[in-house]
Amino acid sequence: MPSRPLNDYISVDCVIFGYNGQELQVLLVDRTLTNNSTGQPEFTDLTLTGNHIYEDETIEQAAYRVLFDLTGLKNVFLDQFKTFAHPDRLKKENDRRWLIHDGRDPDKRIVSIGYFALLATQNITLEWKGRNVKWVPVSEVGELAFDHNQILEEALIALRNKIKQEPIGFELLPEKFSLTQLQNIYEVILSTELDKRNFRKKIARMKYLIPTDEKQTGVAHKPARLYVFSREVYEKTKKELFDFTV
């Protein structure tokens, strides 16, 4: 089990994206302080989730640990997208928000290795005891502490690039999902609208989306057929795509 931090200066930050069937969300830690005498919040303060890397684990293991501690999930899509440094941290020494993180000296939190994770938010119960975490729609995220707005922005760029290249949309959905749900994922992430018939024709060419015999239940309209993603078929058929941009 993890013991000592590898290094006080290095952490992983996880941009945990969730999808509730409507919109893309991100999991944030609320570090709002309440003034002891007035009972009013002294200031509100939100951050991404993150932690140190322990000396007996890889960076990736640290990122999975952060995820597991929060969600209890182990098989989550995770992608390292960029590493950030804060050489200008000294300029911020009067910014109170840099001084309370974890009670540690924030000056030491210099390098953060950014991961983004994808998960379906239904039937997830958040588990980080002693922390106040919540889902916030990406479109409604306000000012975050540290440079976390920048990290979130870069995570979104990485997510958009990734989804254009690999079929990762289903990672935001339950195991069985409808094609309309999948289409909505692409529309939300790429901020575009897609034609339903063309989308389904494209899917039909991909062999790794397998129709099941199940249908939606309890919906007040024609129930959609449910599909599953077959990683096995995907790995077999993904054969390098050699098209390129000159």
Partner DNA sequence: ATAGTTAGTGTTACTTTAACACTTAATTAA
Partner DNA sequence: TTAATTAAGTGTTAAAGTAACACTAACTAT
CA distance 107 to 74: 31
Give the interface segment with DNA, choosing from 24-32, 85-93, 158-166, 177-185 (CB under 7 A): 177-185
Min CB(205)–DNA separation in Å: 6
Distance CA 95, CA 43 (A): 12
- 87, 103, 142, 218: residue in contact with a second copy (rule CB under 8 A): 87
Which does residue 209 touch among a second copy, DNA, none (CB within 5 to 8 A, set by kind)?
A: a second copy
The beta-carbon contacts of 1-6 under 8 Å, at least 24 apart in sequence, are: 2/54, 2/56, 2/57, 2/65, 3/54, 3/55, 3/56, 4/54, 4/55, 5/52, 5/53, 5/54, 5/55, 6/52, 6/53, 6/54, 6/55
User: Is residue 163 a contact residue for a second copy (CB under 8 A)?
Assistant: yes
- Of 22, 32, 35, 180, the one binding DNA (CB under 7 A) is 180
Q: Does 21 bind a second copy (CB under 8 A)?
A: no
Closer to a second copy by Cβ: residue 75 or 245: 245
Comparing CA positions, the residue from 23, 192, 205, 5 lying closest to residue 109 is 5
User: DSSP strand E in 168-235: where?
Assistant: 209-215, 225-229
Question: Does 124 sit near a second copy (CB under 8 A)?
Answer: no
Q: Is 195 in the site for DNA (CB under 7 A)?
A: yes
196 binds a second copy per the rule CB under 8 A: no
167 binds, among DNA, a second copy, none (CB under 5 to 8 A by kind): a second copy
Q: Is 161 in the site for a second copy (CB under 8 A)?
A: yes
Give least dist CB 219 to DNA, A.
6
Q: Which does 74 bind (CB under 5 to 8 A by kind): a second copy, DNA, none?
A: none
86: left (phi over 0), alpha (psi -120 to 50) or beta: beta
Choose between 66 and 189: whose C-beta lies nearer to DNA.
189
Stretch (H or E) spanning 80 = strand 77-85
Q: Is the dihedral of CA 184, 187, 193, 197 positive or negative?
A: negative
Nearest distance from residue 14's CB to a second copy, in Å? 14
CB 58 within 8 A of CB 99: no
Residue identified by tokens 């991100």 is 26
Residues at the contact surface with DNA, assessed by CB under 7 A: 178-180, 195-198, 200-202, 205, 215-225, 242-243
Residues at the contact surface with a second copy, assessed by CB under 8 A: 6-7, 9-10, 53, 55-59, 80, 82-85, 87, 110-111, 113, 161, 163-167, 169, 182, 186, 190, 192, 199, 202-203, 206, 209, 241-246
